[in-house]
Amino acid sequence: MKDSDIDAVINILREECEKWQEPIVTEVSRKHDPFRVLISTLISLRTKDEVTRAAASRLFQLASGPAEMARLKTEVIERAIYPAGFYRTKAKNIVSTCNLLLEENGGRVPDEIDELLKLPGVGRKTANLVVTLGYGKPGICVDTHVHRISNRLGYVKTKTPEKTEFVLREKLPGRYWIEYNDLLVTFGQNLCAPVSPFCSQCRLFSCCDRVGVIRSR
């Protein structure tokens, strides 16, 4: 993929992604509540979207803010978010996070990456999602889909999601930063699969370098 193709690629992704359901964290962000984005993202790690959607809904029915959630017993949160992956660890992190927000931030979710990274279980992916989707501030969230597809297209040549993030910060036009994650996650969940992607159905086929693609459909 040529760097100059990025505008056309983004436009195609926008059109294609309208056919599919948006990621759960994006759906949650419509409420403009950074706390819900934070908690939903913590639940979503290594968990399918449909499981995250149901788990987050059950938990937010029990508590909608850090003060309420901090009062819940860890076992109650575990039951609410099960069968999310690593649900016991996530429940402990959620309680610890809520307590830290109350003790050090007056219950407010930080809007800076470095501050968010101090919270239990929060990595750069989660921090960037909170900053971009929770606060609408510039940032690039890179998860496994964004890392894989950016490299598959040939837009970046990186070994880790963190390196992908910093390369994208240098070359991806700022106007695409916030939506880039949503587009590639949706695209990756529905068409550009990790193994045997649906290349025969892909409108990006002509410009995609198909790096690492051994088998496709």
125 given a catalytic annotation: yes
CB-based burial, 19-37: b 16+ in 10 Å, e otherwise: eeebbbbbebbeeebbbbb
Q: Which parts of the chain register pLDDT below 50? A: none
Q: Which of 7, 73, 125, 157 is catalytic?
A: 125
137 given a catalytic annotation: no
User: Domain boundaries in the chain?
Assistant: 3-21+140-201, 31-135
User: Over the stretch 156-170, which tens digit does the pLDDT of each residue have?
Assistant: 999 999 999 999 999
Q: Which of 92, 143, 159, 209 is catalytic?
A: 143
Model pLDDT, residue 30 = 82
Model pLDDT, residue 48 = 92
Model pLDDT, residue 25 = 87
Model pLDDT, residue 206 = 96
Domains 3-21+140-201 and 31-135 fall in the same CATH topology = no
User: Over the stretch 124-159, which tens digit does the pLDDT of each residue have?
Assistant: 999 999 999 999 999 999 999 999 999 999 999 999
Correct CATH for 31-135 of 2.40.10.340, 1.10.287.980, 1.10.340.30, 1.10.10.60 = 1.10.340.30
Do residues 13 and 184 make contact, with C-beta atoms less than 8 angstroms apart?
A: yes
pTM higher than 0.75: yes
Model pLDDT, residue 175 = 97
161, HSE (Cβ side, Cα atoms, 13 Å): 15
Q: What is the CATH number of domain 3-21+140-201?
A: 1.10.1670.10
CA–CA gap between residue 90 and residue 84 (Å, rounded): 9
CA–CA gap between residue 90 and residue 38 (Å, rounded): 12
